[in-house]
Every structure is written in C-alpha cells, then in structure tokens.
C-alpha cells in the first residue's frame, strides 16, 4: 500500500510492503529515501544522490556516480554510520510528529502503518548496539556472498574454507574449516531466526555458509539440511544456495545432487576462475577446469542450476590469451541455460596478497582496467548457449559485498 501526502512543502510517500517500509521525502531540491526491514533496521537509503546500503553486520557502503558516470564507493566510518542512522530515524520521528496535527496522507495511513512508523521513530542507538552484539554472537563474519545473495538468510553450516590456499583469496584466513555438529547447527539456526526476527520477510533465500558447505560428505550434509527444514519453510524462503569449490574433499555423484535437489538446493556457485589449467595452478586453485566441467554437468543433470564465476585479469598479460580461449571453451561445454548465471569478477589485488607477491616474483604484467574489460568482452562475445536460453551474465565486484 502506498500513501502520499504533502507536509511543510515536502511530498512524503510511505510505501508499506510485507517485507519492508520505505519512506521518501521529496523537495524541490532533493529526494531522500529510507527503507527499513520489518524489525526496524535501516537497510537502504538515498541522500544527496548518494545511495547507502547497510548490512546486518552494521557496515554501510555509500555509492555515487560522478558526472562522467564513474561509480564511487566508500565504506562509512563509525561516526558517518551513526549520522546516517540518526538522520533516518529522526526523519520518521518528524513524520510521526506531523501526524499529531493531521493525517494528510491519501489514502489515510492505516493504524498498522502508524504504529510501524512510531516503532521506527523510537529505534535508536541502543537498538543498533544490541543488534550488532547479537549478530556477532551468532555469526563468524560472513566472508563473501554472490551478488544475487546479499539479502539471503545465511546459515553457517560450516565455517571457513576446506582449502583456503588460493593465492588471490583471503576471505577465510582467520578461521579453520570445520563442519558444525547437528546440535550446534540447530542452536545456530535458532540464534539466526531470533536475531533476524521480523526482518525475515526481507530475506529471499537461504545461503549455506561459508565458502564450500557442499564439500561436507553427503551422509553428514543431509541430516544438517534436515535440521533446517525442521525450523524454516525452505521452499517459501526461496530454497537453498551455496558455494562449491567442488574439487577438493569428497566428490558428489549424480544421486547425491538429486537428493540435495529434493531437499531444496536450487543453485550452486562455482569459482571456476579460468578454463586454463596453468593459470589455475598459478592461482593455486584446487582441481582442473575439466573437473569443474564434470561437476557442473552432474549438478545440472540433477535439476540444480549453477552460477559460474570467472576471475577477470588473473595472470595478467602472460596468461591473457589462454585465459580467454580456455575459459570460453570450457563454459561452452557446460550446457548452461536461462536458469544459470555467469559472473565476471575482477581480480582485486592488495598488499600482502600471495597472488601479488607471486606476480611480482614472476614479472607478471597486470592488465589495465580497459584491458580487463576487453578480456570480459572477448569471453562474453564467444560464449555460445543452446536453445534452452542464455544465462544471466553479470558483474561480481567483491568490494560491493554487504551482509
Ligand atoms: S576455494 Fe574459494 S574460498 Fe577457498 S581459498 Fe579458494 S577462492 Fe577462497
């Protein structure tokens, strides 16, 4: 339900959905927008043409475009986060105060919406402090998610990465890989349900953390997934999603994937990185491109879709040609269709990254930004898909990740 009203030379819109409340305030100079989940947490905002997105972990990323359409990004510091939250909730307080004078909305606000606004107006520093404390008591920091899973309901069935040695990745260096026992996992699920509370309606899918929950042997994995079914309506929440490094640990067979499909597994994200085995070796990525191909075929034959991630710029100029040719070749054999995804993720280097040290040691010449985009273009242009449709092809920028 959308309610629109004019107050103090502002056009105020209250949009009440079953998963969030969005308020926009429009003046001749600016439009401000604030969106909250049903527990009262701010999750997106727009102020002075800067968009903000807040994660459950309290981090807030701000993004804006310059005149030349270049995207800028900044993670807010503590003071900036606090200012944003104050601004959001004091704006709601202003609307609640104005309603004491008269209800100027059309259609008039329902009692339920008024009480929701009053609840949002009351949310303050204490709420967010307690919320963050709860978050850290139930989660190890969520390292990364695919971009289409940022508003999933993450359950850390495992912690860390069973391999943890790829030279370009530091997401899970702070923890040992381990599989949760059923009782511990059940406690974790209950903890996440209590923590997210009414915000559950905003969550679209269930993501099994961390890096490769599907490496868990099937005879241990199925009882853990059954625990999820005892506590959550998996189908209603959009099904189960997970990463798979796929090529270390126990390999799953076609029947394993069929069983997992029956239990609600919808999509598996695979960091292929490249179709070139020499480059995979340079990246210290476990397994070969052929093994990734075999895994994809098994997964898809079970009815589960895949998200394939390609690491753009990896190996610099020395590997450029082979990276393009072999990646195209392997993806074209995967039989991807409209249910699948292909992500292009640019290699992000940083000081201390083993990849950067190895690149330095071997005199690797990095690709410029334009060359990296050209690499994507060459790969994308040569992908051939069947009559079953084209996968959604998109950018995966790990610097945008927020949960
Ligand atoms: S398998 Fe994935 S999560 Fe693990 S180290 Fe390699 S890239 Fe990182």
The 10s digit of each residue's pLDDT in 315-347 is 999 999 999 999 999 999 999 999 999 999 999
Domain shared by 167 and 237, yes or no: yes
Averaged over 210-215, what is the pLDDT? 93
CB 204 within 8 Å of CB 267: no
Which residue from 198, 230, 203, 56 is spatially nearest to 136, judged by alpha carbons? Answer: 56
What pLDDT does residue 317 have? 97
What pLDDT does residue 102 have? 87
The residues with which 104 forms a beta bridge, in sequence order, are none
Instruction: Give the ligand 1 atom nearest the CA of 284.
Output: 6
Q: Give CA–CA dist 337/126, Å, rounded.
A: 48
How many A from CA of 273 to the centre of ligand 1? 10
Asked whether residue 248 carries a pLDDT value surpassing 60, the answer given is no
Residue nearest to atom 1 of ligand 1 (CA): 245
Instruction: Give the ligand 1 atom nearest the CA of 170.
Output: 8
Instruction: Give the ligand 1 atom nearest the CA of 144.
Output: 3
In the chain, the percentage of residues whose pLDDT exceeds 90 is 94
Q: Give CA–CA dist 378/10, Å, rounded.
A: 49
Asked whether residue 150 is domain-assigned, the answer is: yes
Domain shared by 143 and 77, yes or no: no
What pLDDT does residue 103 have? 87
Which residue from 96, 145, 146 is spatially nearest to 118, judged by alpha carbons? Answer: 96
Domain shared by 320 and 206, yes or no: yes
The mean of the pLDDT values for the chain is 95
What pLDDT does residue 251 have? 84
Q: Give CA–CA dist 44/261, Å, rounded.
A: 33
Asked whether residue 130 is domain-assigned, the answer is: no
Mutate to test the pocket of ligand 1, among 164, 281, 343 (most ligand atoms within 8 A of CB): 164
What pLDDT does residue 215 have? 92
Q: Give CA–CA dist 329/378, Å, rounded.
A: 12
Mutate to test the pocket of ligand 1, among 142, 159, 172 (most ligand atoms within 8 A of CB): 172
CB 403 within 8 Å of CB 142: yes
Contacts of 195 (CB under 8 A, 6+ apart): 56, 131, 134, 135, 138
CB 281 within 8 Å of CB 288: no
Which residue from 315, 323, 385, 342 is spatially nearest to 167, judged by alpha carbons? Answer: 315
Averaged over 375-386, what is the pLDDT? 96
What pLDDT does residue 247 have? 62
Of 124, 151, 176, which closes a domain? 124
How many A from CA of 164 to the centre of ligand 1? 5
Task: Express each pLDDT in 251-307 by its tens digit.
Answer: 899 999 999 999 999 999 999 999 999 999 999 999 999 999 999 999 999 999 999
Instruction: Give the ligand 1 atom nearest the CA of 169.
Output: 8
CB 395 within 8 Å of CB 344: yes
Q: Give CA–CA dist 60/54, Å, rounded.
A: 4
Instruction: Give the ligand 1 atom nearest the CA of 165.
Output: 5
Residue nearest to atom 8 of ligand 1 (CA): 169
Instruction: Give the ligand 1 atom nearest the CA of 286.
Output: 1
User: Domain of 332: which CATH number?
Assistant: 3.20.20.70
What pLDDT does residue 246 have? 56
Domain shared by 184 and 57, yes or no: no
Band the pLDDT of 249: cuts 50, 70, 90: low
Q: Give CA–CA dist 257/277, Å, rounded.
A: 26
Task: Express each pLDDT in 347-380 by its tens digit.
Answer: 999 888 999 999 999 999 999 999 999 999 999 9
Instruction: Give the ligand 1 atom nearest the CA of 273.
Output: 7
Domain shared by 119 and 249, yes or no: no
| Helical (H) or strand (E) element with 354 | helix 354-361
Averaged over 382-396, what is the pLDDT? 95
Domain shared by 46 and 115, yes or no: yes
Band the pLDDT of 203: cuts 50, 70, 90: very high
Asked whether residue 97 carries a pLDDT value surpassing 80, the answer given is yes
Asked whether residue 341 is domain-assigned, the answer is: yes
Residue nearest to atom 4 of ligand 1 (CA): 164
How many A from CA of 62 to the centre of ligand 1? 27
- Domain extent at residue 252: 139-400
Q: Is the peptide bond before 171 cis (omega within 30 degrees of 0)?
A: no
Burial class of residue 49 in the structure, from the number of CB atoms within 10 Å of its CB (0-12 exposed, 13-18 middle, 19+ buried):
exposed
Domain shared by 17 and 53, yes or no: yes
Which residue from 272, 254, 267, 244 is spatially nearest to 344, judged by alpha carbons? Answer: 272
CB 148 within 8 Å of CB 341: yes
For β-strands 206-209 and 240-244, DSSP reports them as parallel
Asked whether residue 134 is domain-assigned, the answer is: no
Domain shared by 269 and 151, yes or no: yes
Domain shared by 158 and 101, yes or no: no
- Say how many domains are in the chain: 2
Asked whether residue 271 is domain-assigned, the answer is: yes
Which residue from 124, 122, 92, 123 is spatially nearest to 109, judged by alpha carbons? Answer: 92
Domain shared by 172 and 205, yes or no: yes
Which residue from 401, 171, 379 is spatially nearest to 273, judged by alpha carbons? Answer: 379
Asked whether residue 354 is domain-assigned, the answer is: yes
What pLDDT does residue 18 have? 93
Task: Express each pLDDT in 172-201 by its tens digit.
Answer: 999 999 999 999 999 999 999 999 999 999
The answer to whether the Cα torsion of 296, 259, 338, 397 is positive or negative is negative
Domain shared by 159 and 283, yes or no: yes
How many A from CA of 215 to the centre of ligand 1? 12
| Helical (H) or strand (E) element with 110 | none
SS3 24: strand
Of 91, 124, 157, which closes a domain? 124
How many A from CA of 325 to the centre of ligand 1? 23
Of 124, 152, 170, which closes a domain? 124
The 10 Å Cβ neighbour count of residue 182 is: 12
What pLDDT does residue 66 have? 81
Band the pLDDT of 250: cuts 50, 70, 90: low
Q: Which residues line ligand 1 (CB under 6 A)?
A: 161, 163-166, 169, 171-172, 211, 245, 271
How many A from CA of 192 to the centre of ligand 1? 25
Mutate to test the pocket of ligand 1, among 172, 211, 287 (most ligand atoms within 8 A of CB): 211
Which pTM value belongs to this model? 0.95
Contacts of 347 (CB under 8 A, 6+ apart): 168, 311, 312, 313, 314, 355, 372
- Integer CA distances (angstroms), 316 to 27, 131, 282, 341, 375, in order: 49, 43, 11, 25, 10
What does DSSP assign to residue 367? Answer: P
Domain shared by 88 and 176, yes or no: no
Q: Give CA–CA dist 303/252, Å, rounded.
A: 14
């Amino acid at each position: 339900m959308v309610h629109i009203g004019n107050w103090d030379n502002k056009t105020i819109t209250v949009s009440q959905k079953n998963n969030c409340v969005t308020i926009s305030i429009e003046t001749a100079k600016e439009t401000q927008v604030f969106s909250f989940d049903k527990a009262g947490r701010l999750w997106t905002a727009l102020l002075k043409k800067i968009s903000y997105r807040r994660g459950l972990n309290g981090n807030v990323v701000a993004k804006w475009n310059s005149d030349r359409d270049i995207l800028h990004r900044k993670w807010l510091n503590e003071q900036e986060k606090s200012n944003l939250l104050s601004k959001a909730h004091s704006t709601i307080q202003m609307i609640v105060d104005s309603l004491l004078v008269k209800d100027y909305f059309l259609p008039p606000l329902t009692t339920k919406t008024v009480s929701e606004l009053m609840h949002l107006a009351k949310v303050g520093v204490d709420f967010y402090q307690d919320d963050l404390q709860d978050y850290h008591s139930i989660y190890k920091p969520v390292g990364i998610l695919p971009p289409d899973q940022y508003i999933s309901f993450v359950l850390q069935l495992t912690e860390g990465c069973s391999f943890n040695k790829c030279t370009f990745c530091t997401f899970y260096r702070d923890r040992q890989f381990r599989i949760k026992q059923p009782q511990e996992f059940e406690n974790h699920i209950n903890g996440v349900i209590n923590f997210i509370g009414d915000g559950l309606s905003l969550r679209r899918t269930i993501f099994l953390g961390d890096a490769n929950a599907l490496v868990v042997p099937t005879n241990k994995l199925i009882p853990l997934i059954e625990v999820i079914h005892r506590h959550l309506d998996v189908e209603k929440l959009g099904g189960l999603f997970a990463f798979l490094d796929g090529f270390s640990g126990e390999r799953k067979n076609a029947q394993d994937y069929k069983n997992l499909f029956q239990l609600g597994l919808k999509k598996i994200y695979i960091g292929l990185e490249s179709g070139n085995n020499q480059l995979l070796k340079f990246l210290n990525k476990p397994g070969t491109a052929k093994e990734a191909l075999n895994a994809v075929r098994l997964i898809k034959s079970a009815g589960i879709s895949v998200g394939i991630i390609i690491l753009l710029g990896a190996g610099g100029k020395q590997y450029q040609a082979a990276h393009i040719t072999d990646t195209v070749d392997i993806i074209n054999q995967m039989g991807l269709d409209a249910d699948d995804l292909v992500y292009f993720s640019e290699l992000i280097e940083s000081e201390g990254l083993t990849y950067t040290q190895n690149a330095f040691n071997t005199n690797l010449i990095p690709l410029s930004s334009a060359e990296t985009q050209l690499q994507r273009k060459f790969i994308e242009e040569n992908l051939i898909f069947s009559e079953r449709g084209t996968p959604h092809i998109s950018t995966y920028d790990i610097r945008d990740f927020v949960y």
